[in-house]
Amino acid sequence: MATPVISGNDIFSHVFFGAADIKKSSAFYDAALGALGIKNLGPFGNDWVLYGRDKPAFIIARPGNGAAPTSNGVTVGFAAATTAEVDAFHAAGLAAGGSDEGQPGPRGHLPGAYAAYLRDPAGNKVCAYTFV
């Protein structure tokens, strides 16, 4: 894998979510993130799965300290190009074992925002946003 290049527009090198069941979590993210054009870039070692468009930016793995994964109070938002992508993200995530945390639709707190929220099989909260 090529060395990732970080541009001036990137504010994170990556986001890491702990997962107890990597197979179940990767099936969820393959579906939900695939709807946004984000690819499973493959495993890294035995317990990590990397996702991104052209470089790894989102990782699911078993927590390194062996403790149970937790994410209470954390939400990671993924960029969508269209409202149809947001809808597809939500539908694919539900079909792949996620649970609803907010149906697709306009969000009044940000002008032009359209989003959907899910919990992944490990309980992590994720969303997809676009602005129209």
- Residue 121 belongs to domain with CATH number: 3.10.180.10
Q: CA geometry: angle at 79 spanning 74 and 36, to 5°? A: 110
pLDDT tens, per residue, the chain with 132 residues: 444 444 445 677 789 999 989 999 999 999 999 999 999 999 888 789 999 998 899 999 988 888 888 777 788 999 999 999 999 999 999 999 999 999 999 998 888 999 999 999 999 999 999 999
Rounded distance between C-alpha atoms, residue 20 and residue 105, angstroms: 31
pTM for this prediction:
0.84
Mode of pairing for the β-strands spanning 99-107 and 75-79:
unpaired
Distance CA 86, CA 79 (A): 9
- 116 lies in which domain range? 15-62+75-131
Q: If DSSP codes are grouped into helix, strand and coil, which group holds residue 33?
A: helix
The verdict on residue 104 lying in a domain is: yes
1 in a structural domain? no
φ and ψ at 46, to 5 degrees?
-90, -25
